[in-house]
Amino acid sequence: MNLSAVRSPFSVSSLSNGDDRKFSLGGCSSYDTDSVASRSSGVFSGYDTLDTPPSCDFYTNTEVFGRPKKSRPSLFQLHSNPQDDPSPPPLYEESSVDKQSPDEDEPTEPPPEPARFGWAQGVMIRCMLNIWGVILYLRLPWITAQAGIGLTWIIILVSSSITGITGLSTSAIATNGKVKGGGTYFLISRSLGPELGGSIGLIFAFANAVAVAMHTVGFAETVQVLMQESDVSMVDRLNDIRIIGVITVTCLLAISMAGMEWESKAQVLFFFVIMISFASYIVGTIIPATPEKQAKGFFSYRADIFATNFVPGWRGPEGSFFGMFSIFFPSATGILAGANISGDLNHPNVAIPRGTMLAIFWTTISYLFISATIGSCALRDASVGCNYGWNFTDCMTNKTCTYGISNYYQSMSMVSAFAPLISAGIFGATLSSALACLVSAPKVFQCLCKDKLYPGIGFFGKGYGKNNEPLRSYLLAYIIAICFILIAELNTIAPIISNFFLCSYALINFSCFHASITNSPGWRPTFRFYSKWLSLLGAVVSVIIMFLLTWWAALIAIGIIIFLLGYVLYKKPDVNWGSSMQASSYSMALSQCVGLNQVEDHIKNYRPQCLVLSGPPCMRPSLVDFISTFTKNQSLMICANVVTGEPSLGTVDSAKISTHLKWLNKRRMKTFYHTVVADDLRAGVQMLLQSTGLGRMKPNVLVMGFKKNWRKAQPSNIENYIGILHDAFDLQYGVCVLRMKEGLDISQTMQAHVNLGFETSTEQALDTRMDPETLMAMYQPTTVFQTRQEKKNIDVYWLSDDGGLTLLVPYLLTRKKRWGRCKVRVFVGGEAQQVDEQKQELKALISRFRLGFQDIQVLPDLNGKPQSDHIKRFEDIIAPYRVSSFQKDGEEADETTKEFSWMVSDEEMETFRTKSFRQIRLNEVIQDYSRDAALIIVTMPMARRGACPSALYMAWLEIVSRDLRPPVLLVRGNQENVLTMYCQ
């Protein structure tokens, strides 16, 4: 077979421009400049086709400079034949990427590449520097003296266990897809959603800004001690620390704002300085102690010193296990320093797990080692050196013995082989940690600002330069840091941030657990060394430790999170990140829906679950608003649209569906939206009636708008309209028809308004290529059902017992605040001689239903003869549909009515005369009693299928609701009870 003879008009030969180069099935590498995806797969399949083999380009959101982004052919291109189908492709097939005009100038050089870092420099070194902070040099010896070597190891191991579990959870989340900038906030928000992600993002950014102050104060404290030893002072101890701290953080700000390259180079320098200081410390513990060091409590390694320092020696107000833990724990919080610059990493999916876990391991070893060695070499109090041949009687008497690891924060300098190297290490550790936090806080906050979850913070999200540096966020973090530097007490600042970091760790672990437990298909982390139950344990332990450290601070932190969470839940930001909360909602909803299959229906649990034939909801807002009034938060509501056309034309436009859903969400509708394609309206509604819903969550009431223009419509449309009512009754649906004096369809009115807007707005005129339906969805017109109703009546004409739906609808309305002030009046037909008896009987019945309706009226004149002019008006309405007016060439009436079943013969007019008069008379009664009502609810007249012509039935609905100012709702239940007077 010659395949070229049947070549598609979309043949790739016309797209390849004669390029015969070979191509390969490349992966996702950026240097794959000639992927086969852009052309024919004929070389692989053996025939000419537009279909393409898989390519990474199809799934990425980024483009490679110098070549257009490649995309797979659309379904329209593959499936349709343009020769037979000249119509344009549907909107959802259009590319979402704006195509550049050929007249536009294309850049000749690629944009500058931002600095990217690997796992060692970008994550491991950064995390280690942040963990080796001020606590290591200035507080670990003191904590060892307080808690003893044994409990200090427990404090270190518990802290490392929490951070290790958090590191595993972070690694799992970071490897579940491409990670962008935003660090911890990005990981949590994209996993748990904007509610928890936003709250923890703010808190984590704030905690990092406070951590800048903590490390800077540690640096300033060391400088102040060195100045004091040299008898140099600017003001006094506290003010000296404040002055030095402000100057230092200002210099760090300058380095940070210079760019990530400078910051990274500074971190590497600090790392080497710390390594040298460690070497100096280790050498110092080994060499014999000099008399000067012995006088300060250092005697090198001794078993009795180790034994004495192994047990606790609590002192002062902080002297407790959790007091020491709260001071030490901030030193372990640097594990997220690498993740916080995720946007500046080469391959964050690889760098974050590897660098973070190695940093935790090596820093834990270093903390354990230093704690054990300092506790084996140095005394708690230098005065205890009396046992080793030293006399401290004078300083003990004067209480001036200030040396020993319980009294002297600079003990590591005293032990070191060369003390200035420890000071250099302190400078490197404190400055590197402060610098890392000063970079982390703005990076996290910038991502939060760009997501626009909270008002008033977007100003700080603007980025500058090739690295998109958040300079405004840097200044904000700088100001926060200065405020806490003014406290100038390290032991006061450290516990403040412990709870905020523990909150972050708890949520990271919970994110990993929640994503795992929901079994979402999208949870596919490449990091396998984690356990969902270990993550849950880490989350629980983090929360418990929060309360054990400082219970009131824990309550404040949780309260802030709940407040921020509530705000985001209330505002409902328009973001969709595929969070585990969405997966959890789906799992719960699926489980509950399946569980409903085990529960039999009961009258007490009956709810009107409405299938609303709204068409595009924006075109009939009154219909949607009214039904939503009594279904919101109580029962199912589905807005349905029937699109007439061939399904192969792609007329079910996903873009339009999304537009209508946004319109409904913006209107705060608790509803679903469903579209079907059919040859005509009735066929589409038949599909909806039989297939809409899930299990027991399916509609039981069909809601329609009244066809106001039925007299101008084709007779077949009338037949279809009435046929829909019959179909609903056949399928055991209840039916509601809403009529408003001004009509329900506002498309023409709104279209005129939209066109006027485009004529006066140049900016909006760019979108006139959109179809009218999409344009109308941009507006939110106000309807009478959106406002609170006045103290008026809801008049219910319960003329036939349909099972109680006619009474249930007004009862549900009055339970809502908008209709709460309205009074329900129930009208029934009756005999003049038995009005009182019938009224009492009906009142007793309604009272047993517990509906609260007290105003019951019997209408004895309902069956009277209507006025002659009203009869004449009804006959004029039905006259165009009488058989006699359509007979030609002596056709028999019977044959005509067989061919045109919507016609009304003289015999049928006579048969249904009494019923027609009743509808005319009912309209007169409603005009008399309910002229000023807020809403009129009338039992819909019933017509037998095949016996009553469609035109006659339509005329009944017309005459009952004609010329009424209030909205009219025609209701007919399916003749099964929806109200009960029993409790079981």
What pLDDT sits at residue 55? 63
pLDDT tens, residue by residue, 291-316: 888 777 788 888 888 898 898 888 87
> Cα separation of 734 and 805, whole Å?
8
Among 462, 437, 435, which Cα is nearest to 447's? 462
Q: Is the pLDDT of residue 27 over 70?
A: no
The closest alpha carbon to 261, from 465, 480, 406, belongs to: 465
- Rounded Cα distance, 499 and 6, in Å: 71
Tokens in use for 794? 């809801």
Under 8 Å CB-to-CB from 546, ≥6 apart: which residues?
A: 498, 499, 502, 503, 506, 553, 554, 557, 558
Measured at the CA of 557, the angle between CA 206 and CA 566, to 5 degrees, comes to: 95
With a cut of 60, say whether residue 848 has pLDDT above it.
yes
Strand partners, 253: none
Q: So what's the pLDDT on residue 823?
A: 93
Residue 725 pLDDT:
93
Domain boundaries along the sequence of the chain? 119-571, 606-747+772-787, 805-884+896-972
Nearest Cα to Cα of residue 217 among 488, 495, 492, 496: 488
What is the predicted pLDDT for the residue at 58? 63
The whole-number average pLDDT for the span 970-980 is: 89
> What are the residues whose beta carbons fall under 8 Å from the beta carbon of 444, sequence distance 6 or more?
182, 183, 184, 185, 201, 204, 205, 208, 340
Q: What is the pLDDT of residue 7?
A: 36
Query: pLDDT digit string (tens) for 639-681?
Result: 999 988 655 444 466 777 888 888 888 888 888 999 898 888 9
* Residues pairing with 674 in the sheet: 640
The answer to whether 619 and 590 are in contact (CB under 8 A) is no
Encoding tokens for residue 218?
């540690």
pLDDT digits (tens, 9 = 90+) for 139-183: 888 899 888 999 999 999 998 898 899 889 888 888 877 777 666
Strand 637-644 versus strand 610-613 pairing type: parallel
DSSP annotation string for 879-924: GGGBGGGT--TT--HHHHHHH-TT-B-HHHHHHTHHHHHHHHHHHH
465 confidence band (pLDDT: 50, 70, 90): confident
Q: Number of helices and strands (H, E) in the chain?
A: 35, 10
In which band, very low, low, confident or very high, does the pLDDT at 970 lie, cut at 50, 70 and 90? very high
> Which is nearest to 793 in space by CA: 857, 703, 741?
857
Q: Residue 520: phi, psi to the nearest 5? A: -70, 135
Spell out the SS3 assignment of 103-165: CCCCCCCCCCCCCCECHHHHHHHHHHHHHCCHHHHHCHHHHHHHHHHHHHHHHHHHHHHHHHH
* pLDDT classification of 736: cutoffs 50, 70, 90: very high
Kind of pairing, strands 701-705 and 672-678? unpaired
What confidence tier does 810 reach under pLDDT thresholds 50, 70, 90?
very high
3-class SS of residue 469 = strand
pLDDT tens across 407-416, in order? 777 788 888 8
Mean pLDDT, all residues of the chain: 78
Predicted TM-score (pTM) above 0.85: no
Pick the CATH number of 119-571 from 1.20.1740.10, 1.20.120.920, 2.60.40.10, 3.40.50.720: 1.20.1740.10
Given a contact cutoff of 8 angstroms between Cβ atoms, the answer to whether 580 and 529 are in contact is no
Higher per-residue pLDDT: 829 or 260:
829
User: Of 126, 200, 207, whose CA–CA distance to 495 is shortest?
Assistant: 207
- Quick check: 540 pLDDT over 90? yes
Distance CA 179, CA 194 (A): 16
pLDDT digits (tens, 9 = 90+) for 753-803: 555 444 333 334 334 445 666 777 777 888 889 888 888 999 999 988 888
Q: For domain 606-747+772-787, which architecture applies?
A: 3-Layer(aba) Sandwich (3.40)
Gap between the Cα atoms of 557 and 535, Å rounded:
21
Stretch 690-696: mean pLDDT: 87
Q: Do 646 and 679 touch, CB atoms closer than 8 A?
A: no
Rounded Cα distance, 434 and 440, in Å: 10
The pLDDT-based confidence of 946 (bands split at 50, 70, 90) is confident
Task: Express as a percent the part of the chain with pLDDT over 90.
Answer: 19
Using H for helix, E for strand and C for coil, what is the string for 687-713? HHHHHCCECCECCCEEEEECCCCHHHC
- What are the residues whose beta carbons fall under 8 Å from the beta carbon of 839, sequence distance 6 or more? 830, 856, 857, 858
Position with higher pLDDT, 936 vs 255 = 936
Q: Is 827 helix (H, G, I), strand (E, B) or coil?
A: strand
Alpha-carbon gap, residue 678 to 684, rounded angstroms:
5
- What are the b/e assignments for 245-284, b being 16+ CB within 10 Å? bbebbeebbebbbebbeebbebbeebbebbebbbebbeeb
Could you report the per-residue pLDDT of 81-110, keeping only the tens digit for each? 555 555 555 544 444 444 444 444 455 555
pLDDT of residue 553 exceeding 90, the answer is no
Q: What is the predicted pLDDT for the residue at 726?
A: 92
* Structure tokens belonging to residue 541: 């332990």
Helical spans, DSSP H, in 573-695? 580-596, 621-631, 654-666, 681-691
DSSP three-state, residue 579: coil
What kind and span of H or E run contains 875? helix 868-878
Q: How far apart are CA 122 and CA 130, in angstroms?
A: 12
Average pLDDT rounded to a whole number, residues 388-394: 57
Return all residues near 385 (Cβ < 8 A) that are at least 6 apart. 294, 295, 297, 299, 379, 392
Helix axes 140-174, 321-328, angle to 10 degrees: 60
- Following DSSP, what letter does each residue of 916-963 receive, concatenated? HHHHHHHHHHHHHH-TT-SEEEEEPP---TTTS-HHHHHHHHHHHTTT
Measured distance CA(592)–CA(316) in Å, rounded? 57
Query: Closest Cα partner for 152 from 395, 399, 368, 379?
Result: 368
Burial pattern 424-463, b for ≥16 Cβ within 10 A else e, equals: bbbbbbbbbbbbbbbbbbbbbbbbbbbbbbbeebeebbeb
* DSSP structure class, residue 335: G
Packing angle between helix 194-229 and helix 419-451, nearest 10 degrees? Answer: 160
Q: Which residues pair with 641 in a beta bridge?
A: 675
Ramachandran region of residue 74, left (φ > 0), alpha (ψ -120 to 50) or beta? beta
Compare 846 and 71 and report the one with higher pLDDT: 846
> Residue 94 is which amino acid?
E
Residue 487, Cβ neighbours under 10 Å: how many?
Answer: 18
For 497, phi then psi, to 5°, come to -90, -10
Between residues 28 and 497, the one the model is more confident about:
497
SS3 67: coil
Residue 717 vs residue 257, higher pLDDT = 717
Q: Residues 6 or more apart from 273 whose CB is under 8 A from it? A: 424, 425, 427, 428
